[in-house]
Amino acid sequence: MMSEAEVSSPAHFSKRDLLRSSFINELLQNPKCSVFSVERVFPQNLGMGHRCCSKQRIKRGLWSPEEDEKLVRYINIHGHKSWSSVPKYAGLQRCGKSCRLRWINYLRPDLKRGSFTAEEEQIIIDIHRILGNRWAQIAKHLPGRTDNEVKNFWNSCIKKKLISQGLDPQTHNLLSSHRRSSASTISNMHQNSNSIFIMSSHTPNAPVKTTFQTFSSLPKPPPNIVQTPSSIVTSEYQTSPIISNKFSSDFPCELLIDNASNICSPSYMNPTAVELSNNESVANWVSRVNIDDFSAQTLEEGTQVLVQQEKDKICEDMGTDVREANKGYLESSASFESSNFDFGLLESVLSSEFISHDVSCMDELAWNF
DNA sequence: AACACCGCCAACCGCTCACAA
DNA sequence: ATTGTGAGCGGTTGGCGGTGT
């Protein structure tokens, strides 16, 4: 433990050290902790404040330990019913917005600190492939992580990693510079073994049309579509015995099929990932089929059960008659369209769990929407 | 040692949405 | 229906620290 003199000396701490030091935790546990006696000001950050708080002269920029202490102490005692009143009563020359941000992104006691794990990284990638840059949604699936943290991690690490793998970080498809070589490879896979395809519905926000079809009856895809399933030519998709039928009012669906191994992974494409979906030739290629037919013809028995279980579960949650839902084609039924059920979120939970873990975890999924 | 460059990340900005008056 | 306010979100910025020359 450092002496107070050491702690009080700004020279001993870089900004990052101060922000990250373990005594933040100490402070959180003990609001009366007075370890921050140092007068640390950031004159360069003394601006006029946010537009939302332009009436006051408020401080901007990095938070000093004293400010952190005041904020933590106040919230520990009074909570934060109204952020706009927090700075006033906490004795801070900050706007409420800044206080809220500081609390949520840094001072909240339930925050996890330290580097992202490989598992967290994979979850981020998986959910991002589905939801796109919806950092807050992604962060909800990473306990103790904030949207800001996830966003920064994405921009500083994952993005580069994907690019280095020849993947477009927005669409998770192959970058154009990598397409030429990959396209021929995948095209060969199609010709030789009927390996992997993507079937896609069309525009984002459009009602979900069908997305499922037996592989063998599909017409040959247009040349450009075989360039796209870059992200599924990975071990995770080749080894995950995943199948589920999901629908979304927000996102177009895609179904990833490895016919050679009978592995299927339907998913949603994030809106930025549908560049090909607006292509007419792609639209023509995607045709409608009965989902039950698909399941029966192409899936092993155990997988069919999983399909049915999930369909039932979804319909149950929505108050929809399962048998009714199973009767016809799973296109944009009125009940789905009018529902407030967040299929995007559902999908994000499901896919992150399924892709990263064993299928047996299906029953453990939280349906807390 | 000095400087330049670069990556990380905390914080800000501007926007949208929800809700109350 | 309109307006004002607050909360939340995603994009962006800029300072700091590490690294290379």
Which nucleotides of strand C are protein-proximal, with an atom < 7 A from a CB? 5-12, 15-18
Estimate to the nearest angstrom the gap between the alpha carbon of A263 and the chain centroid.
23
The tens digit of pLDDT for each residue in A53-102 reads 444 467 888 888 888 888 888 888 888 878 888 888 888 888 888 888 88
- The reply to whether the CB atom of residue A83 sits less than 7 A from any atom in nucleic acid chain C is yes
Token digits for A202?
Answer: 């069309």
* Closest C-alpha among A281, A180, A173 to residue A229: A173
Single-letter residue type at A147: D
CA separation for the pair A267, A252 (Å, rounded): 9
Percent of chain A whose pLDDT exceeds 70: 32
Token digits for A342?
Answer: 């967040």
Query: How many Å from the CA of A113 to C1' of C18?
Result: 21
The tens digit of pLDDT for each residue in A8-67 reads 333 333 333 443 444 344 444 443 333 232 222 333 333 333 444 444 467 888 888 888
- The reply to whether the CB atom of residue A51 sits less than 7 A from any atom in nucleic acid chain C is no
Q: What is the dihedral of CA A162, A168, A171, A177, to 10 degrees?
A: -140
- The reply to whether the CB atom of residue A17 sits less than 7 A from any atom in nucleic acid chain C is yes
Tell me which residues have their CB below 7 A from strand B: A 16, 19-20, 45, 47, 49-52, 59-63, 97-98, 101-102, 105-106, 148-149, 151-153, 155-157, 160
Query: How many Å from the CA of A71 to C1' of B10?
Result: 17
Could you tell me the pLDDT band of residue A178, with boundaries at 50, 70 and 90? low
- Return the nearest residue to B6, CA–C1': A156
CA separation for the pair A304, A322 (Å, rounded): 16
* Closest C-alpha among A27, A31, A37 to residue A3: A37
Q: Which helix (H) or strand (E) holds A257?
A: strand A253-258
- The reply to whether the CB atom of residue A15 sits less than 7 A from any atom in nucleic acid chain C is yes
Crossing angle of the two packed helices A301-317 and A291-298, in degrees rounded to 10: 160
